[in-house]
Structure 1
Amino acid sequence: MKNNIDIVMLGDSLTSRGEWDVLLYPKKIINLGHDADTTVDILARLDLAIEVHSKCIYLMIGINDMNSYKSLDKIFENYIQILNRLKIKSTSKVFVQSVLYTQMNSFNKKVKEINIKLKEYCNDNNLTFIDLNENLSRDEVLLNIYTTDGLHLNMKAYIEWANKIRSYF
């Protein structure tokens, strides 16, 4: 096991802004979240996540794809490519986290649809789907108490997110 890493957090700005090494202490974490990342960006740097040989990979990606007007079919297709590559090349246990709702209705219908597809895919392929929206949203909208701008999260939200992840340790 290279570096003896417990968890790789893989995603976009929502992931990158989490202080995971503190939130999930004493687990050893590598945060591979990057601002503005899309499913295509994750595919391009997926080998880095694989090379770490972590015990687990927590994946959340998709909201920036929606912002760049990619179709849900294309986003889902890219997700499947990510998950297939992880299945073939990685020994890490993969957790698919729900795409988070926002406070923008234009996104939330798409978020709901992609999460339904992801959950179904995970159920059919023996993968774990973690619905973070159960904790952070009501009526398919991100709660005010968890956001700084209607999309990005505050520390209170990251604590909720970390607590949800902990239940899968």
Structure 2
Amino acid sequence: MIHRLASPALCTFLALLLQATHPVFAEDKKPDAPTAEKAKAPPPDWGAIFKMHWQNRVRAFKEQNLVFQNVVLLGDSITEGFDVAKHFPGRRVLNRGIGADVIGNNMAPDDPRGVLQRLDNSVFDCAATDVFILIGINDLNSGKSVDSMETGYRTLLQRLREHSPELRVHVQSVLPTRGNHDKQNTPVREFNARLKRLAAEYKCTFVDLHSLMADGEGRLKAEFTNDGLHLTETAYALWRGKILETMSWN
């Protein structure tokens, strides 16, 4: 029944073992007359054979894992508006952005929002190798202090590190704003400075999107937004380039 149940890889391995122990079957011919040299041939080095098989299988696993890696974009409506199918064709990029979402600490009992409340279905259950986080502007718009936001973000990074220590975490700076949202630019800059320190503390990559999209006065460039907060396709294309660079996909 072995020929019906064994996988192709196992069949190949068994064939190699058969050749090592009975070389006559590998060449499909009658054995030569025994000689003194053949009589003294050492037995197969089973340790080396199994070691080679193990190394080959591990190499194959690594190659398969690279093919099936998932990159998660975690955030609010700015992330939700990122058309990953358009900007990352052929890549396994999952959009886990939800409009009006926040970090999620110190929430009212009747408010279910927050990335802290949805890490299982947004990151942990996604076979993720990388997560790019962009969250915080709605916390500011809800009146949260930078101190409270830093506390929540620290909790977020702690949970990611404790649950998935091999996960590559990319902390993205909160974007500048414009127009009716211009008042948030000062706390945004302060929060980003803290995010950079948190990223270093938790050994995460810090991705500076703020400098990439700010004009000379520190506001979101006019061509990057229609409402002072959300992004145009021009901005998403620029953001895409930063992710490609971070992932070494260029």
- The TM-score bracket by the shorter chain reads over 0.9
The answer to whether residue 95 in structure 2 is matched with residue 95 in structure 1 is no
Runs (4+) of structure 1 exceeding 6 A deviation are none
Task: Give the aligned partner of residue 46 of structure 1.
Answer: 119
* Number of equivalent positions: 168
Q: What 5-or-longer segments of structure 2 have no aligned partner?
A: 1-64, 105-113
Task: Give the aligned partner of residue 99 of structure 2.
Answer: 35
Q: Distance in 2 between matches of 1:61 and 1:106?
A: 17
Task: Give the aligned partner of residue 61 of structure 1.
Answer: 135
Task: Give the aligned partner of residue 165 of structure 1.
Answer: 243
Larger Rg, first or second structure (1 or 2): 2
1:148 offset after TM fit, Å?
Answer: 1.6
Q: Distance in 1 between matches of 2:127 and 2:162?
A: 13
Identity %: 35
Stretch deviating more after TM superposition (17-26 or 60-69): 17-26
- 1:71-150 to structure 2, matched below 5 A, reads 71-90=145-164, 91-103=166-178, 104-138=181-215, 139-150=217-228
Alpha-carbon contact 1:4-1:54 (below 8 Å) kept: no
1:122 offset after TM fit, Å?
Answer: 1.2
Q: Distance in 2 between matches of 1:22 and 1:34?
A: 19
Q: Distance in 2 between matches of 1:107 and 1:31?
A: 25
Alpha-carbon contact 1:20-1:29 (below 8 Å) kept: yes
Q: Distance in 2 between matches of 1:119 and 1:141?
A: 19
Instruction: Kindly indicate which of the two structures has a greater share of residues assigned to helix.
Output: 2
Stretch deviating more after TM superposition (25-34 or 62-71): 25-34
Instruction: State TM-score, norm by structure 1.
Output: 0.94
Alpha-carbon contact 1:96-1:129 (below 8 Å) kept: yes
Q: Distance in 1 between matches of 2:148 and 2:137?
A: 13
In structure 2, give the amino acid aligned to 1:137. A
Q: Distance in 1 between matches of 2:69 and 2:98?
A: 19
1:80 offset after TM fit, Å?
Answer: 0.7
The answer to whether residue 230 in structure 2 is matched with residue 156 in structure 1 is no
In structure 1, give the amino acid aligned to 2:234. K
Instruction: State TM-score, norm by structure 2.
Output: 0.65
- Specify the SS of the correspondent of 1:95: strand
Instruction: Kindly indicate which of the two structures has a greater share of residues assigned to strand.
Output: 1
Q: Distance in 1 between matches of 2:187 and 2:145?
A: 9
Alpha-carbon contact 1:5-1:30 (below 8 Å) kept: no
Q: Distance in 1 between matches of 2:115 and 2:202?
A: 20
The alignment yields a C-alpha RMSD, in angstroms, of 1.4
Q: What 5-or-longer segments of structure 1 have no aligned partner?
A: none
